[in-house]
């Protein structure tokens, strides 16, 4: 059975008075845990993002059960000490003129477009898919230079494929499911998954109900998507991410304040349901009951994203 869980994308309220205490919900089942916490998305300016990062960093540093992982070598040290390792991710490229600063503040994964087109490329909800722009290509190159993993989630199909073509390191889809299994615009095509795997990257199957099916955030639904992805690209290129929103009222407030960022595919099935951390922690046992080998469980629950970090992050 696996003893390591790597959740590649989870969401606290994007406010500078947010408590990090909810992250303690990942403690349990005697598992080592790393969580990547979102620290900003499309509406946020660079100043907004750095303010959030400063707050999160201070709050995590003050918490006895959490610790920032400055480099890949810290992950083992932190988790062996019984603490949860924490890093950050960003969604969208408004702050991207300052990638080195963001990397210094602990951002380890970044996606250049959030649902809709911007200066970097097209988004998954756009009717026209123009792919990655010249500026977007330069941003991917800079991510490669500063130790940030390029992320294709929320990007358009062509933008994601272009990222895989130009990146010199692994590209990931941090929180996406497979469109061939459930046709949602936020899910990725088989071609995107294959291109990601060809870079050495990982597809993080996510626990959001509307991306798994008709609002079905169950272990069975996640397992079916994991098994499809493993059959398609191989065991070394599939991982997990909850995309869990710790404050539902805050999430729906974001939808209300930013209606242009979303479409009816986010609301068609009523209030979105997520897989809670407590359920995600039982995924390994669920996979074992389905006959998965221990090394395959270890790969999907943590080892694959850890391998990407070893290639890209600071040591």
Structure tokens at 24: 């303690």
Region of poorest pLDDT, from 72-86, 157-171, 184-198, 244-258: 244-258
Nearest to 7 by CA among 20, 29, 26: 26
Residue 95 pLDDT > 80 = no
What is the pLDDT, as a whole number, of residue 238? Answer: 99
Q: What DSSP character marks residue 168?
A: S
Domain count, the chain: 1
**Containing structural domain, residue 120:** 4-312
The CB-side HSE value for 24 (13 A sphere, CA atoms) comes to: 9
What is the pLDDT, as a whole number, of residue 1? Answer: 42
Q: Please tell me whether the overall predicted TM-score, pTM, comes out greater than 0.95 for this model.
A: yes
Q: What CATH number has the domain bearing residue 200?
A: 3.20.20.140
Strand-pairing partners, residue 32, are 4
**Vertex 153 angle, CA 65 and 238, to 5°:** 70
The 10s digit of each residue's pLDDT in 257-288 is: 888 889 999 999 999 999 999 999 999 999 99
Give the number of other Cβ atoms within 10 Å of residue 97's Cβ: 11
């Amino acid at each position: 059975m696996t003893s390591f869980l790597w959740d590649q994308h989870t969401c606290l309220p994007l406010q500078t008075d947010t408590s990090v205490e909810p992250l303690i919900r990942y403690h349990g089942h005697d598992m080592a845990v790393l969580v990547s916490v979102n620290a900003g998305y499309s509406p946020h300016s660079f100043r907004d993002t750095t303010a959030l990062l400063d707050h999160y960093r201070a709050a995590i540093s003050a918490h006895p059960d959490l610790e920032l992982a400055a480099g890949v070598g810290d992950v083992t040290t932190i988790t062996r000490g019984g603490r949860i390792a924490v890093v950050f991710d960003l969604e969208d490229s408004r702050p991207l003129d300052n990638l080195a600063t963001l990397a210094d503040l602990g951002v380890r994964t970044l996606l250049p477009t959030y649902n809709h087109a911007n200066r970097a490329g097209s988004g998954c909800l756009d009717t026209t898919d123009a792919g990655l722009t010249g500026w977007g290509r330069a941003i991917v190159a800079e991510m490669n230079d500063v130790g940030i993993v390029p992320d294709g989630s929320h990007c358009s199909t062509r933008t994601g494929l272009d990222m895989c073509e130009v990146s010199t390191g692994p590209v990931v889809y941090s929180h996406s499911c497979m469109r061939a299994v459930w046709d949602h615009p936020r899910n990725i095509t088989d071609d995107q998954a294959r291109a990601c795997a060809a870079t050495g990257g990982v597809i993080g199957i996510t626990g959001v109900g509307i991306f798994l099916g008709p609002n079905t955030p169950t272990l069975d639904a996640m397992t079916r998507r994991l098994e499809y992805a493993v059959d398609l690209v191989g065991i070394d290129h599939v991982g997990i991410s909850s995309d869990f929103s710790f404050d539902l009222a805050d999430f729906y407030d974001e939808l209300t304040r930013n209606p242009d960022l979303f479409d009816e595919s986010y609301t068609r099935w009523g209030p979105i349901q997520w897989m809670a951390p407590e359920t995600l922690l039982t995924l390994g046992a669920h996979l074992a009951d389905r006959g998965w080998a221990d090394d395959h469980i270890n790969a999907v629950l943590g080892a694959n994203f850890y391998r990407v970090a070893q290639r890209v992050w600071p040591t």
